[in-house]
Structure 1
Amino acid sequence: MTFSVIRSARSMVRPSGPTPSGVLDLSFIDGMPALRTKVRALHVFRHGQEAAKVISEALSKALVPYYPMAGRLKESSQGVLQISCTGEGIWFVQASANCSLETVNYFDNVGMTPNDKLLPDQPFEANGMDPLVQMQVTEFTCSGFVIGFIFCHAICDGLGMAQFLNAVGEFARGLQQPSVAPVWLREIIPTPPRLLRAATGPTPRRPPPPSSPPLTMPDYKLQHATIDISPDGINQLKGEFLELTGRTCSTFEVVAACLWSCRTRAIDFKRGTQVKLVYLANGRHLFNPPLPKGFYGNCFFPINVTVSSEALSQASIAEVIKLIQEARSRELIEFTKWLDGDSGEAGADSYAPSVIYSRLVVSEWGRLGLNQVDYGWGRPVHLVPIEGSTIAPVAIIGYPPTPKKGIRLMTWSVKGAHLPCFLEQMMNLGLDGSGVSLGLLRSASL
């Protein structure tokens, strides 16, 4: 049977009550050119009666405390990105599919998921600016449903996106207000002094960020790969690391180290190539005092780990984990340097998408809270990130669909010619709990 979706209704969902008007400033991080992008993902739910109706009404209620979400992006006369609180609403599409979720295996196969049918189509013109949030609820014959959502990255990061969706879920379950009150406070994130010094004339409160240099587009398309890692495999590597070093390590550190190491070996870079791992650290707790609970703006910080390709290829997984841990121990120092305008490679340019093949960006979705959203029928059985680029090497660490356990690694990080070797390298690590020991891998000084 051919999978098909019929979109039956389209509308702008507006706040259910009065909301403030006016213009709000975004933070320096919000306004980075690289964040004027859209984050796309699918939430798959096993059950839900009249899901589109319930979620639409809950969205309308949530847009009262989260009224900036119902506004539109604008630029000031100085080119500074802002939010115009117009109350125009978010784009909402109702749709139905011609099969059950079981028939499509709950979209377990990420690479074969029909994103074009499950994500909302083009919204109506809204003064030339798209809504900041767009959603489509597709109901299936089994009473299950899929939410395809598109968020403008400039208004929130992954934690903020999850906070908003969890608030929608609380309204859908009958709560009268969200358990976590939203906090705007974008002005609490200071603009680096070097940009304030560079501003001409009277110092603006929020000067425009520097423009990213033009990118040279590569002539390849990165291939998708999904790798499920069992709890036993992860625990085995954690145990071996503890035995070898006397230190504990996190699941993120294990998975990132295995991915980075295997990818580098598979590609076999030219001798002398500097390979870079970039992960996105949450900066909320790095402020003094920490940002208030409920802050939903962008507050992540790129941390760079750099080493030669030959050293990384020869290193044991334990040594690569230690390298990542050393970078994590420097987060506060690097974040403070960035705020002071002395950030080096961890500065503003790190936010820009990179098409450099030797640079890999790893994003951890499993701890954002997106897998905890509940509209009244339980949490999603699957969260499906949708790649934003086929030329910028990226990996996302999340969870496989329930009832599977462990970690799901989704990557768009290698060319087709390197994919078989990359998958073989990952398999050879014995991440199912039955393969190579960390201590048997070759060691090199990093």
Structure 2
Amino acid sequence: MAEVARGAVEVTVEPVWERSKLLGPREPARTEFPIEEFLSLNKDFVPYTEVVEKVVREYFHVKDEWLDRFKTFLQEKSGLSFTTFEALGAVLWQARVKASKIPRDEEVKFAYAVNIRRVVKPQLPAGYWGNGCVPMYVKTTAGDLIEKPIWETAELIKKSKRNVSDEYVHSFIDYQELNYKKGINAGRSVGAFTDWRHLGHSTVDFGWGGPVTVLPLSRNLLGSVEPCFFLPYSEASQGKKDGFKVLLYLRVNAVASFREEMEKFGNMAYV
């Protein structure tokens, strides 16, 4: 669309839809991956209407130095290397659950979107313009999440990626087909996390340069009303980049405690 707006006669990548053919349910629909381990059926539970407390937006800046030191610390403790998403996701998830004072025995979930464009067989064509992702889940109890070492939380997130496969994707699609009318949800204490830093939002040019900022329009994501977005700096920030922005939604009564937890991260209190 940006190419057309700038006057292009032809687009670089030919758009492809064919959603029912590329990502439609199988015949017959079947779930060979145990999707029900993460999802529930309950028509009476609508996650986006469950929150009664006011939810507010919180922004904070994550410096490259903090991340580098923290990932080195995690590797020393666990013997594993972690991506920025895995490492920072563990910190944010733990901090939010702790600040929200969720009962120790309650199940909590870390939900995130995984790119399936090269996972499905055959791969999605370059011009497919529908969503090329499905949710993945990590689950534990609030007590275990808060009390276990932070590197074990990062490892849970890392290990969950092993579930991403062609069968997982098609089982997820077929589960929707088989159970949509029964009320599919991921439960109550779901924290949704998504990384927008590499999607290209910050470089799209409709003819007057890149965007000044990049922000989500909705706070409903993957069954959570308290999502977290890793956001890119815009082209307007060129030359001033150090790390990236994080946008979270938090219940008002959890904000002060959450800020304290993030100060510990900034001061490298884990190390």
Q: Aligning the two structures, in what range does the TM-score lie when normalised by the shorter sequence?
A: 0.7 to 0.9
Change (3 A) 1:379 1:251: same
Q: Is the 8 A contact 1:353 1:392 kept in 2?
A: no
* Aligned-residue offset at 1:237: 1.5
* Aligned-residue offset at 1:285: 1.4
Work out which of the residue numbers 204, 207, 221 in structure 2 matches 1:373. Answer: 204
Question: Partner of 2:108 in structure 1?
Answer: 275
Q: Is the 8 A contact 2:195 2:229 kept in 1?
A: yes
Asked if 1:423 corresponds to 2:254, the answer is no
Question: Partner of 1:173 in structure 2?
Answer: 6
Q: Which has the higher strand share?
A: 1
Q: Is the 8 A contact 1:217 1:355 kept in 2?
A: no
Q: Is the 8 A contact 2:138 2:160 kept in 1?
A: yes
| C-alpha RMSD of the superposition | 3.1
1-structure distance, mates of 2:137, 2:173: 16
Change (3 A) 1:262 1:427: same
**SS across alignment from 2:157:** helix
Question: Partner of 1:300 in structure 2?
Answer: 133
Question: Partner of 1:411 in structure 2?
Answer: 248
**SS across alignment from 1:383:** coil
2-structure distance, mates of 1:229, 1:292: 34
1-structure distance, mates of 2:50, 2:78: 42
Q: Is the 8 A contact 1:371 1:383 kept in 2?
A: yes
The number of aligned residues is 250
2-structure distance, mates of 1:192, 1:275: 31
Work out which of the residue numbers 59, 73, 92 in structure 2 matches 1:240. Answer: 73
Q: Is the 8 A contact 1:334 1:343 kept in 2?
A: no
Q: Tell me, which stretches of 5 or more residues in structure 1 are unaligned?
A: 1-167, 197-209, 439-446
Q: Is the 8 A contact 1:225 1:411 kept in 2?
A: yes
Q: Which has the higher contact order (CA 8 A, sep 6+)?
A: 2
% of aligned pairs identical? 24
Question: Partner of 2:33 in structure 1?
Answer: none
2-structure distance, mates of 1:388, 1:245: 34
How far does the alpha carbon of each residue in 1:136-163 deviate from its partner, in whole angstroms, 9 at most, with x for none? xxxxxxxxxxxxxxxxxxxxxxxxxxxx
Change (3 A) 1:343 1:244: farther
2-structure distance, mates of 1:303, 1:389: 16
1-structure distance, mates of 2:42, 2:141: 29
Asked if 1:182 corresponds to 2:182, the answer is no
Question: Partner of 1:266 in structure 2?
Answer: 99
* Aligned-residue offset at 1:410: 0.7
2-structure distance, mates of 1:229, 1:423: 13
Change (3 A) 1:387 1:297: closer
Work out which of the residue numbers 394, 397, 418 in structure 1 matches 2:227. Answer: 394
| Paired letter, 2:258 | F
Question: Partner of 1:291 in structure 2?
Answer: 124
Change (3 A) 1:343 1:331: farther
2-structure distance, mates of 1:183, 1:342: 23
* Aligned-residue offset at 1:338: 2.6
| Paired letter, 1:367 | H
2-structure distance, mates of 1:182, 1:383: 24
Q: TM-score, normalised by structure 2?
A: 0.80
Change (3 A) 1:343 1:353: closer
How far does the alpha carbon of each residue in 1:217-239 deviate from its partner, in whole angstroms, 9 at most, with x for none? 33212121111101111111122
Note the 1:305-316 alignment, pairs <5 A: 305-316=138-149
2-structure distance, mates of 1:379, 1:245: 40
Asked if 1:383 corresponds to 2:214, the answer is yes
Change (3 A) 1:384 1:243: same
Question: Partner of 2:51 in structure 1?
Answer: 218
**SS across alignment from 1:382:** coil
How far does the alpha carbon of each residue in 1:18-49 deviate from its partner, in whole angstroms, 9 at most, with x for none? xxxxxxxxxxxxxxxxxxxxxxxxxxxxxxxx
Q: Displaced runs of 4+ in structure 1, greater than 6 A?
A: 351-355
| Paired letter, 2:157 | I
Note the 1:60-71 alignment, pairs <5 A: none
Q: Tell me, which stretches of 5 or more residues in structure 2 are unaligned?
A: 31-40
**SS across alignment from 2:216:** strand
